[in-house]
A and B are shown apart, each in its own frame.
Chain A
Amino acid sequence: MTEETFEPKIVAFLCNWCSYRAADLAGTARIKYQPNIRMIRVMCSGRVDPDFVLKALALGADGVMIAGCHPGECHYLEQNYKAMRRFSMLKHALRQFGVEDERVRLQWASAAEGVQLAAAINDMIDKVRALGPLNWPAKWSENGRVEAAIERIPEEHAEAMEVPA
């Protein structure tokens, strides 16, 4: 896939009570946003384990969005604050891993904010498109050198003479 035709894949975790309903609202109100986002509904943004984000990136996502209720409005009272803290910790680590800030985003959206959520989604997709593909699994490939090196080993062993016990 060339750079010009790169279309990012964004995975999003939306909480059941606010942000997922905002996405529903965008749908019923026919507010357009780009199709690059795949949404997964969770009961609360506090459900989102950093492992979900890391796994999505490791499996080929170019970006991850976490969306939840505004601080103070969480259906489960305070768990979006946990999401906020986990997000801060995760971003701190991701910077060190070399994942750009724009690729992982925390977005608050109330159930009434269909327009705002759509705008945030479009904004994120545009930014990730500009960054290019993440293609994380390629980072641990050895560029094809391994098999040849391993095949050489028995050949190297065979160069030495057999020595009796």
Chain B
Amino acid sequence: MSAKKETKPAEKAKLALYWAASCGGCEIAVLGIDDKILQVADAFDIVLWPVAIDAKVRSIEKMDDQSIDLCLFNGAIRTSEQEYMARLLRQKSKVLVAFGSCAHEGCIPGLGNVANREQIFQVAYHDTPSTVNPDGIIPQEETEMPEGSLYLPLFYDTVKTLDQTVPVDYYLPGCPPEPERIWDALVAILENKLPAPGSVIGAETTVCDTCPRTRNEKKITEFKRTWEIIPDPDVCLLEQGLVCCGIATRAGCGALCPTVGSPCIGCYGPNAGVTDFGARMMSALASVIDSQDPAEIDRIISEGIPDPIGSFYRFSLAHGELRRLVANGNGKVQDPALETA
């Protein structure tokens, strides 16, 4: 909103919400602010929100640069169309927020970085048992039909986060961010009470601090899978041997999952000052293993955590230091198109 000397009705600020490689959960979370959405509608003209409004991409392309006051961008970047939209909205927006875990860290789509395009296509379009594809058809960027060409965007080998694609002004963590945190962030934006540009808008402690369970001393001699035990409802889940990511995860949700008996899975990403969530989990879990014998330590880890990437980088693989894995592990640079599964 602008302040002018002449009396002129205040023009509404412009708001855009867009989704890239995402699931729609962030849209639902925005609606979770219930009737406060009326205040948002009063403060903003919503110029793009495909889930709700019939505005098309063309109308955004025609807008002036920086004419969108606030863009809440959720979703990771894994196609050329998504990168195009990220660049377009960065150009047209004053403030660009990486909204939710996908835009912030890659989230579940980021798990795609255990594979590449060829491997994903191989499974989706050839290998799944219900697929019948004798001619080996795979989706193409351009297909000639009798009537004209049909276009699909390029599907990348590696998922990127929003800040690996364009400069980002703020991050709102969570998969999805809880409605209370979304409202807090919107108020902070409207009142211009934001932290330094480039910051995460969020708490500066871990989920443990907000967890209702009792915590004593952690001495783990065995990690358990969630289906192996019915945990005590009052005691810390990690102390009972379940891999709970609360120790490394930024607070903000209110420890909702431990409240219903499920270990935290880390969807709010790392705490302030931490860049690689997985490294923090590895460090923290290793600290509480109760053994000094190398062979036993190896056994506790390999038996109890059969999938380190899935356990430690479930939401943050694309944003971790290594960003992705390589299939054959010989370290040599290869054209991903030649990599075999």
Q: Do chains A and B make direct contact within the complex (CB under 8 angstroms)? A: yes
B331 A133 Cβ-Cβ under 8 A? yes
Whether A133 touches B333, Cβ cut-off 8 Å, given contacts A82-B286, A84-B297, is yes
List A contacts of B301 (CB < 8 A): 88-89, 92
Which residue of chain A has its CB nearest to the CB of B113? A140
> Considering residues B153, B274, B305, B322, which has the most beta carbons from chain A within 10 angstroms of its beta carbon?
B322
How many inter-chain residue pairs (CB < 8 Å) link A and B? 145
Closest CB in chain B relative to A6 CB, distance in Å:
11
B282 A139 Cβ-Cβ under 8 A? no
Asked if B122 is at the interface (CB within 8 A of a chain A CB), the reply is no
Whether A93 touches B331, Cβ cut-off 8 Å, given contacts A86-B282, A145-B154, A149-B153, is no
> Considering residues A57, A95, A150, A153, which has the most beta carbons from chain B within 10 angstroms of its beta carbon?
A153
Closest CB in chain B relative to A37 CB, distance in Å:
18
Asked if A85 is at the interface (CB within 8 A of a chain B CB), the reply is yes
List A contacts of B323 (CB < 8 A): 58, 139-140
Quick check: which of B78-86, B175-183, B187-195, B200-208 contacts chain A, the rest being far away?
A: B78-86
Complex interface residues of chain B between 61 and 111 (CB less than 8 A to chain A): 61, 80-81, 83-84, 87
Asked if A157 is at the interface (CB within 8 A of a chain B CB), the reply is yes
List A contacts of B58 (CB < 8 A): 157
Whether A100 touches B282, Cβ cut-off 8 Å, given contacts A57-B322, A88-B298, is no
Asked if B309 is at the interface (CB within 8 A of a chain A CB), the reply is yes
Q: How far is the CA of A150 from the CA of B45 in the complex (A)?
A: 29
Q: How far is the CA of A96 from the CA of B259 in the complex (A)?
A: 32
A54 B276 Cβ-Cβ under 8 A? yes
A81 B292 Cβ-Cβ under 8 A? yes
B80 A93 Cβ-Cβ under 8 A? no
A96 B279 Cβ-Cβ under 8 A? no
B286 A86 Cβ-Cβ under 8 A? yes
List A contacts of B327 (CB < 8 A): 98
Asked if B121 is at the interface (CB within 8 A of a chain A CB), the reply is no
Which residue of chain B has its CB nearest to the CB of A131? B331
Asked if A14 is at the interface (CB within 8 A of a chain B CB), the reply is no
List B contacts of A146 (CB < 8 A): 80, 83, 154, 156
B294 A54 Cβ-Cβ under 8 A? no
Asked if B280 is at the interface (CB within 8 A of a chain A CB), the reply is yes
Asked if A4 is at the interface (CB within 8 A of a chain B CB), the reply is no
Q: How far is the CA of A98 from the CA of B157 in the complex (A)?
A: 16
List A contacts of B148 (CB < 8 A): 159
User: How many residues on the A side are at the interface (Cβ–Cβ under 8 A)?
Assistant: 48
Contact of B285 among A84, A89, A134 (CB under 8 A): A89
Interface of B is mostly: mixed
Asked if A25 is at the interface (CB within 8 A of a chain B CB), the reply is no
0/1 interface trace, chain B 138-158, chain A, CB 8 Å (1 if under)? 000100000011010110111
Whether A97 touches B325, Cβ cut-off 8 Å, given contacts A84-B294, A92-B302, A157-B61, is yes
Asked if A2 is at the interface (CB within 8 A of a chain B CB), the reply is no
B331 A132 Cβ-Cβ under 8 A? yes
Closest CB in chain B relative to A96 CB, distance in Å:
5
Q: How far is the CA of A50 from the CA of B331 in the complex (A)?
A: 19
List A contacts of B324 (CB < 8 A): 139-140
List B contacts of A159 (CB < 8 A): 148-149
Asked if B278 is at the interface (CB within 8 A of a chain A CB), the reply is yes
Q: How far is the CA of A161 from the CA of B157 in the complex (A)?
A: 33
B336 A100 Cβ-Cβ under 8 A? no
A interface residues (Cβ-Cβ under 8 A, vs B) = 49-51, 54-55, 57-58, 62, 71, 78, 81-82, 84-86, 88-90, 92-93, 95-100, 103, 131-136, 138-140, 142-143, 145-146, 149-150, 152-154, 156-157, 159
B interface residues (Cβ-Cβ under 8 A, vs A) = 57-58, 61, 80-81, 83-84, 87, 141, 148-149, 151, 153-154, 156-158, 274-276, 278-280, 282-283, 285-287, 289, 291-292, 294, 297-298, 301-302, 305, 307-309, 312, 320-333, 335-337
Known pairs A85-B291, A139-B326 / 20 extra A-B pairs, C-beta < 8 Å? A51-B276, A85-B297, A88-B301, A92-B308, A93-B308, A93-B312, A96-B309, A98-B325, A99-B329, A100-B329, A103-B331, A135-B331, A138-B333, A139-B333, A140-B323, A143-B335, A149-B141, A152-B80, A156-B151, A159-B149
